[in-house]
Amino acid sequence: MISPKNLYEFLLDTFGHQHWWPVDEQYHQNQNSDPRFEIIVGAILTQNTAWTNVEKALDNLKKHRVLTVQTMANIAVEKLKTMIQPSGFFNQKAERLKLIAAYIEKKYHKDLLNFFSRETSEIRHELLSLKGIGPETADSILLYAGNHPVFVIDSYTKRFCQRFPLSILNESYDDIQHFFENELKSTIPKKELVSTYKEFHALLVELVKNYCWKKNPSCATCPLTHLCEKLF
């Protein structure tokens, strides 16, 4: 049975660094804004849609300079809906964006450093208490915006676990997450966990969307085919 660490190293050699989560650093330098909020917004916008649609919505938000906690909290919801329309489900997502922005503005005085400078479990519990924030969104915010060591499980990761033989008890979010975290914590230095979790998650997405996502996977050309054959 291949270990998660060996799997990670193989995928990294195969696909290279993915540099995920993408953030427009130059925009935030010019606007003197916090790029972490763009990640929070992106984590909500990407619910039930492709990233290409999220990029269109983010471009609209940048054009209107809405990518700060304060502006997001105070913008008229109808205007926000129009800007994020390309991401789909814009009524729900506008409500969720306004909610989390208003929450951070009121409780943490717009300070994301203050928000993220707490125990991981405390922040996660708080995020999950907000309407429309589920485990995947909360963990994406924790890992990519807050640099907390949390392994994100999305539909791509679940699909991979359904098709690649791993010692996971069942397909629940928590069990898959515990499997990867427990295995990696025992083999990866603590200081490298956050960067490894980010890269590993992005590599799994790259693998699955190219080979495993369809009902009939492209096993013949998949770089993991030889590993699958050895394990079955």
> Over its length of 232 residues, how does the chain's per-residue pLDDT go in tens digits?
788 999 999 999 999 999 999 999 999 999 999 999 999 999 999 999 999 999 999 999 999 999 999 999 999 999 999 999 999 999 999 999 999 999 999 999 999 999 999 999 999 999 999 999 999 999 999 999 999 999 999 999 999 998 887 888 788 999 999 999 999 999 999 999 999 999 999 999 999 999 999 888 998 999 998 877 555 4
CATH class in words for 4-17+151-231: mainly alpha
Check if the beta carbon of residue 38 is closer than 8 Å to that of residue 67: yes
DSSP H stretches of helix in the chain = 4-15, 25-31, 35-45, 51-63, 69-74, 77-84, 90-108, 112-116, 120-128, 135-140, 155-163, 173-185, 193-207, 225-231
Residues with Cβ within 8 Å of 30's Cβ and at least 6 positions away in sequence, in order, are: none
N- to C-terminal Cα separation, the chain? 10
Which residue intervals of the chain bear CATH 1.10.340.30? 33-145
In the chain, list all ranges with CATH 1.10.1670.10. Answer: 4-17+151-231
33-145 belongs to CATH 1.10.340.30: yes
Q: Quick check: 40 and 141 in contact, CB under 8 A?
A: yes
- Size of the chain, expressed as the number of residues it contains: 232
